[in-house]
């Protein structure tokens, strides 16, 4: 009964199982239930957060994966991937816990210096291709369609030139309403920029997510003190990401598509 319940409802707690079994006339402790589940090869893990996928999203993801499954690697080399991300001042390494003795709470080693109005974050727009990272831009204020087009004007084309994308390169951005707005589509068309058709709710198909993670790890090691410092460090570290890392992400792109197909369109480990 324990195994059946958990198979159908992985979020069942040990307490729930104790009560279910009690109702069925069997008294067991939480410890016994934990041991039983572990013996069956299960362990309690935190559930991964993934985007909410509706039927249409799953369908679109499968369509994209199947349509591109046999594309050559050269095909992906021509793509300039882009995205926005939020960088926290106290991001990844903000392990706020320290090992200390009872009376050493205020030893400088055990405290985290904060600046007035210092906690917070900045929004960034960035792009990359198999050849390396493009420009990284700090988004100030709330981004609307007009601001997005300005960011593209100032950063996308210069990045494409700097990365020597050559003729026939393709621009990737997700289906955020600012990206798919009529005025933005017309702007891209006027600039003769070809856009990759993209399935919504699919960050796992955009390899730039791996670069954001890499950037966050690198920035955390440098412990920025305030938001301007954070922006400066982000730009420095973004430029230091090795082109080989970018090339690898793109070279392995097909694995993402096979994962989506294997997972029937649902979110993957990427």
Q: Tell the residue number behind the tokens 């090992």, with chain if given.
A: 99
102 and 10 assigned to the same domain: no
For residues 50 and 61, give the distance between their C-alpha atoms in angstroms, rounded to a whole number: 14
Is 268 part of a structural domain of the chain?
Answer: no
pLDDT at 219: 93
- Candidates 157, 127, 131, 125; CA nearest to 250 is 131
128 and 226 assigned to the same domain: yes
59 and 154 assigned to the same domain: yes
Is 47 part of a structural domain of the chain?
Answer: no
- The domain that holds 228 is classified in CATH as 3.30.420.10
pLDDT at 109: 84
How many domains does the chain fold into?
2
Range of the domain at 227: 55-263
21 and 126 assigned to the same domain: no
Is 49 part of a structural domain of the chain?
Answer: no
pLDDT in tens, the chain (270 residues): 999 999 999 999 999 999 999 999 999 999 999 999 999 999 998 888 888 899 999 999 999 999 999 999 999 999 999 999 999 987 665 556 788 898 888 888 888 766 665 568 999 999 999 999 999 999 999 999 999 999 999 999 999 999 999 999 999 999 999 999 999 999 999 999 999 999 999 999 999 999 999 999 999 888 888 899 999 999 999 999 999 999 999 999 999 999 999 999 999 999
Is 270 part of a structural domain of the chain?
Answer: no
Burial of 127 (0-12, 13-18, 19+ CB in 10 A): buried
Decide the pairing of beta strands 194-195 and 170-172: parallel
Is 207 part of a structural domain of the chain?
Answer: yes
59 and 31 assigned to the same domain: no
34 and 81 assigned to the same domain: no
123 and 9 assigned to the same domain: no
CB 259 within 8 A of CB 270: yes
35 and 135 assigned to the same domain: no
189 and 246 assigned to the same domain: yes
59 and 186 assigned to the same domain: yes
22 and 68 assigned to the same domain: no
5 and 102 assigned to the same domain: no
């Amino acid at each position: 009964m324990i195994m059946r319940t958990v198979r159908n409802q992985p979020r069942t707690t040990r307490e729930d199982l104790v009560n279910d079994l009690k109702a069925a006339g069997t008294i067991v402790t939480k410890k016994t239930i934990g041991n039983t589940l572990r013996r069956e090869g299960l362990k309690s893990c935190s559930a991964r957060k993934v985007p909410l996928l509706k039927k249409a999203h799953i369908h679109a993801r499968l369509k994209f994966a199947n349509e591109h499954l046999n594309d050559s690697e050269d095909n992906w080399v021509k793509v300039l991937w882009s995205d926005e991300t939020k960088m926290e001042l106290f991001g990844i390494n903000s392990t706020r816990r320290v090992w200390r003795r009872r009376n050493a709470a205020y030893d400088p080693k055990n405290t985290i210096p904060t600046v007035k109005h210092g906690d917070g974050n900045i929004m960034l727009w960035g792009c990359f291709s198999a050849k390396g990272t493009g420009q990284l831009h700090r988004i100030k204020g709330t981004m609307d369609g007009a601001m997005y087009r300005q960011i593209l004007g100032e950063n996308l084309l210069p990045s494409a030139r700097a990365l020597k994308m050559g003729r026939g390169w393709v621009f990737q951005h997700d289906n955020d309403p600012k990206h798919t707005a009529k005025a933005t589509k017309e702007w891209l068309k006027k600039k003769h920029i070809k856009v990759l058709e993209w399935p919504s709710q699919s960050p796992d198909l955009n390899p730039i997510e791996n670069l954001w993670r890499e950037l966050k790890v690198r920035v955390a090691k440098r412990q920025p003190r305030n938001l301007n410092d954070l922006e400066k460090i982000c730009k420095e570290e973004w430029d230091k990401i090795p082109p080989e890392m970018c090339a690898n992400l793109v070279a392995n792109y097909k694995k993402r598509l096979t994962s989506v197909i294997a997972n029937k369109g649902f979110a993957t480990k990427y």
